[in-house]
Structure 1
Amino acid sequence: MTMDREQDIRDRAHAIWESEGRPEGQHEAHWRRASAEIDEGAPEPGQTETMDESGAPVGIKG
């Protein structure tokens, strides 16, 4: 993993954590979600991403 990609994932995971009210114990789910968003491209503004029970992304609505 390149340092730029890792930092991008770290920044996105942090933003996800903050947007969800800073819950404890969700760091792995946030990291997976951020990694997927970085790899696949984040949703466009105005679109929302649907999640499964574990918090993993399953699709984009918009």
Structure 2
Amino acid sequence: MCKSQWCAGGGVDGMKDVTSVSKITQELLNAGYSFEDVTKIWGGNLMRVMREVEAFKETYRA
């Protein structure tokens, strides 16, 4: 039983399951995106935002 949103391709045309994710990464690199850009696409920005939210929460904690 798969508990990932990617089990059935995540709703992306042409993706059958999570094993296709590496193909997206490779195509981004082939298209000229830097490794740093790809890292941001796959979650770096989300993690940065979550750290900022946590920091903001700490400043307003009662």
Give me the TM-score of the superposition, normalised by structure 1. Answer: 0.31
- Please state which structure has a larger fraction of its residues in helix: 2
Give me the TM-score of the superposition, normalised by structure 2. Answer: 0.31
Q: Which has the higher contact order (CA 8 A, sep 6+)?
A: 1
Larger CA Rg, structure 1 vs 2 = 2
